[in-house]
Structure 1
Amino acid sequence: MNDKIKKIANQSLQGKAISHDDALYLMQIDGDEIYDLFYWANQIRLKYFGHTIKGCSIVSARQGKCTEDCRFCSQSTYYNTGIEEFNLVDTGNILDAARCAEQAGSDSIGIVTSGYSINGDNDFDKICQSIKAIVSNTCIHPHGSFGELTREMAESLVKSGLKRINHNIETSERFFPKVCSTHTFADRLNTIRVAKEAGLEICSGAIFGIGEGIEDRIDVAFTLKKLDVDVVPLNFLHPIQGTPLEQNYPIKAMDTLKIISVYRYILPDKEIKIAGGRERNLRDLQSWMFYAGASSVMIGNYLTTKGRSVLEDMRMIEDLGLELVTSCEDSKKLAGN
């Protein structure tokens, strides 16, 4: 057992912050010692989350025609990716997706719209109506990802019943200009600040495999720690034909697990969610993501790429002796009291 890894892990177990240098050391662990890294990441996860896992699902409510040039994204108007494009779907479609997510065991449904922001009062009103419909007709939490938000928009979303907003910072501040030129890292931080001030929980994370270095991966984690976000989704590039990153190779499976583990050391008590690209980057090692420190997973399809079948994920979680917990179970308990 590597004593230095154990010492760093004990800091996380005691709720103490680890240093940037310690995180860099962990990210460079290789060989047999990587299993020590995973072991302690799992111990940290067990302390804060026990044997429980949360699942979430998303629905693409408006797709394509995005004016931003994020180099990894299939929905940008800058790239010819051939995806299906559509305007904002009806409340009924969103509610149907929420009910499917509820049946799949998800704790939440994320309504996701393409574009820099929600344009027009009509679309925004429809989003608010959809949130209210989810609250009234299901027991899962409505979350959303709507791009830039004003204070007024954020407050209206809260009044409609939105619990949490997703707004990923994507990568480090240093590397961000190489990923997107149509808005800034500061723009992203501002939306997070606005949402937080309005009373929304924050789901914010990153995407890996886009050309970033080890330092960038670590810097993102410390930025998220400073922002005190509630949930940290980790995405791994699934290269899309037609985008500038279509030729990027997947991250090695063990390196993908290493990223998950180091994030658990840096963010010991935060919900770490494994999202897009896990199938391509983890391949046969998908079940290892929990041992590496993950406490949450996205269930079902992503925005423009297919996910693994719900049945396979349910079986994986059960086989590991883990328990998928949902807000629906909490609702049943309250109803019984």
Structure 2
Amino acid sequence: MHNRIETIAQQSLQNNEISHEDAIYLSQAGNDEVYDLFYWANRIRLKYFGQTVKACSIVSAKQGTCTEDCAFCSQSSYYPTAIEKYNLIEENKIVDAALYAENTGAHSLGIVTSGYSIDNENELDRVCRAISTISRDAHIHPHGSFGVLTREMADALAKSGLKRINHNLETSERFFRNICTTHTYADRLNTIYASKQAGLEICCGAIFGIGEETEDRIHLAFTLKKLDVDSVPLNFLHPIPGTPMGNRSVLTPMEILKIISLFRFILPDKEIKIAGGREKNLRSLQSWMFYAGANSTMIGNYLTTKGKPGEEDLQMIKDLGLELERTSNDEMI
């Protein structure tokens, strides 16, 4: 198996698409073979990104009372969770979050609002004004996640200075109906298409440990490759009491590292970002995410769950001999 993993890796190192059969083969690596998988995933990361990694932060700008029924989500109004709920926060608080994230070493700030979409014109205007201020006053890239978007919404966000939109597919198309019934996979794809047409970069990934099979993970990875997204955030279920998945067991650290490596083989030159659920799922093996192929991570808190203090993550990156990518003044022009 070792030789075949190396053969597949050579294709990824040349940015040639591996086959579906090869992806299945990689996903079945076991025992000592997983270390060979990690070794080559790391080699692919080094070729395309060197020793540089990115860190991003998010701010939960509007939280709770979401109309959608995503089975893993603490913010859905369908489920009795104990999270704090609030409407869109003031523009100055969003800007303050960006300045704080910049000071902690983050390359970008993701502004995240709960709900199917941006509710109305006033809410869109407020978000756009905050993005414009961040673009002018902070040396950090403003990113955003606002649910389903029309082309007009995407255009307005891009014009305000938004650099990248986050809109996850979450899982494969065939499995999606098992985790959400209030909107469709096509709704999510259409938001990605609209955002691309508006000139926005695309951050699109998934959540794992929600009952999906290996085939779902592979199908999703190839879908993201076909969409040519810029960044792929990988989230791992952090079970929230009150949700339908509140009692699910979490994935093992080694299974998660294999998922990261699989995505690096399939998406060799794309940013792979380790996001929600990292601390709970990877536990003492969090630093291994980079050697399994990731080149980006979130720092600080998530939407409704706590992360590690940013200082600890930055120290981990330094201890690994990796270099944190900063946002330069030239990038902001």
2:254 corresponds to 1:251: no
Q: Residues 140-289 of structure 1: matches in 2 within 5 Å?
A: 140-289=140-289
| Equivalent-residue separation in structure 1 for 2:67 and 2:222 (angstroms) | 29
Q: Which residue of 2 aligns with 1:325?
A: 325
TM-fit CA distance, 1:294: 0.2
Q: Residues 60-139 of structure 1: matches in 2 within 5 Å?
A: 60-139=60-139
The one-letter amino acid of 1:331's match is N
TM-fit CA distance, 1:309: 1.0
| Equivalent-residue separation in structure 2 for 1:201 and 1:314 (angstroms) | 25
| TM-score where L is the length of structure 1 | 0.97
- Structure 2 unaligned segments of length 5 or more: list them: none
| Equivalent-residue separation in structure 2 for 1:322 and 1:314 (angstroms) | 10
1:215-260 deviation line (CA, Å, top 9, x unaligned): 0011110000000000000000000000000111110100000000
| Equivalent-residue separation in structure 2 for 1:244 and 1:25 (angstroms) | 32
Percent sequence identity is 66
**SS of residue matched to 1:178:** coil
The one-letter amino acid of 1:236's match is F
Q: Which residue of 2 aligns with 1:4?
A: 4
CA root-mean-square deviation: 1.2
Q: Residues 3-22 of structure 1: matches in 2 within 5 Å?
A: 3-22=3-22
| Equivalent-residue separation in structure 2 for 1:173 and 1:292 (angstroms) | 26
TM-fit CA distance, 1:326: 1.4
| Equivalent-residue separation in structure 2 for 1:325 and 1:265 (angstroms) | 23
The one-letter amino acid of 1:99's match is L
The one-letter amino acid of 1:303's match is L
TM-fit CA distance, 1:121: 1.1
| Equivalent-residue separation in structure 2 for 1:67 and 1:132 (angstroms) | 28
TM-fit CA distance, 1:311: 1.2
| Equivalent-residue separation in structure 2 for 1:178 and 1:67 (angstroms) | 17
TM-fit CA distance, 1:53: 0.3
| TM-score where L is the length of structure 2 | 0.99
- Structure 1 unaligned segments of length 5 or more: list them: none
**SS of residue matched to 1:7:** helix
Question: Structure 1 residue runs of 4+, over 6 Å off?
Answer: 332-335
